[in-house]
Amino acid sequence: MAGIRYDSDALPMTDERDLGYTPATDLARLVRTKAVSPVEITRALLGRIDRVDAQLNAFCTVTHDLALAAARVAEESVMRGAAGPLCGVPFSVKDLSWTAGVRTMSGSFIFEERVPDVDAPVVRRLKAAGGIMLGKTTTPEFGWKGLGDSPLTGITRNPWNAGMTTGGSSAGAGAASAAGLGPLHQGSDGAGSIRIPAAFCGVYGLKPSFGRVPYWPTPNNDNTSHIGPLTRTVADAALMLSVMAGPDDWDRTTLEAPPADYVGRLGAGVRGLRVAWSPTLGGLRVDPDVAAVAAGAARAFEEIGCVVEEVEPAWPDTAALIRGLWSAHEAGTLAGYLPAWRDRMDPELVACIEDGLRHTVADYVQQRARKLEFWDAVRAFFETYDLLLTPSLSVAAFPVGRLNPEGWPQHAWDWIGWASFSYPFNFTGQPAATVPAGLTRAGLPVGLQIVGRRFADLTVLQASAAFEAARPWASRRPPID
């Protein structure tokens, strides 16, 4: 087909399930070589979303017409020899990120009709690279919790078992990635919101270093929120991050340095690195089934040439700190909506806001100081170790409709106990990924967390790729079809 303008209407439709599970790296190559049309890919993926997503509720908005229009532009770019790195490759956007001309509801009735007139920087960059936005994925209200339900958009369900949660707050991104509803899904992570759904849904999720990807305009949770990819392969995450990363004046906290060559250097390996394996991160409770799967996955790092040592860091306890900062942030950004909207908001979020209103300014300033002091303990640890491995979460996915699993402490709003492996690395801003580690006896995914030194995003990607090669997971698909 080289040199011939293809007629996308005349091309036979490739099986939508196969295209749904085809990695972005392969789709980009197929588009560049004119083996498949961006329009063909987009039609197939939109058809798959229409057919499958009724079971999951991963998308709150599907942009059929805009996606097809963008696919036609991408097709013309290919014919002109001007294809960008994501030309013709579908992606989704979490419904916290602004999208020009497309509703950005943040999972809340308060913004049900909000239609921004600009794209957030990350969306702008994905489009400029030739990517095709399929739509917006679900999030709990304002992304406030690590679960997958919203008073506006309802419950998002796990492709491995529809009775179970996806986790959150990048709930739809996790479900869509696992179910083959496109290869690239943008998430954000303020206390685990990329890594939680990635672990529960059995996909790859990367929280890059703080500032690696511009974050705008949502209030950034005391500078702990990060934007990153959820994908089925590490190479896809490297490709997506290479497009999203880099300084941007819209976010003054972005890093000055341009991103490393994540794609070109992905396969360099991690032989000889010193790796700490921490089964409980100093005493966190872990379900025995999850602990066994994660421990087995950690052993793979010896197979790929790392020096692995079991360690339990004696870091300061930050459980009270995260609860205080979390509720204070929700109160500071959302309390003004309570008089008019309380009855239509997530009641657990309302409880969190009300708890945060009890904090004084002095409390908040002291909590921020303790967060910064926490870095000193973690910094010293990473002077010895290149990487830290932990279970991604204390539990596997549990039934929808619950804030905490059965048998765990119940609370009016606090869900953080079972996700306490995640938030410390939002405090420190280090890169942290979740790789699929295996399945529980009940057939639910378990994740292994890989944490790197400050700014060592490339090392985390290389470690993830080496693990993926040793323990492949991409062919493992949920029973959604």
User: Known catalytic residues?
Assistant: 94, 169, 193
In 328-401 the beta strands, taken as DSSP E runs, fall at 387-391
Helices 347-356, 319-334: crossing angle, 10 deg rounding: 100
- Rounded Cα gap, residues 173 and 158, in angstroms: 11
What CA dihedral angle connects 412, 330, 355 and 172, to 10 degrees?
0
- Rounded Cα gap, residues 447 and 156, in angstroms: 19
- Rounded Cα gap, residues 51 and 47, in angstroms: 6
How far is C-alpha 181 from the geometric centre of its chain's CA atoms?
15
Whether residue 254 contacts residue 248, with contact meaning beta carbons closer than 8 Å, is answered with: yes
Q: How far is CA 352 from CA 329, 337, 358, 458, in A?
A: 10, 13, 10, 36
Among candidate residues 90, 93, 98, the one with its CA nearest the CA of residue 74:
90
How many H helices and E strands in the chain?
A: 16, 15
3-state secondary structure of 320: helix
Among candidate residues 72, 471, 468, the one with its CA nearest the CA of residue 235:
468
Q: Provide φ and ψ at 382, rounded to 5°.
A: -80, 0
Helix (H) or strand (E) holding 372: helix 361-381
- Rounded Cα gap, residues 278 and 212, in angstroms: 26
Whether residue 311 contacts residue 277, with contact meaning beta carbons closer than 8 Å, is answered with: yes
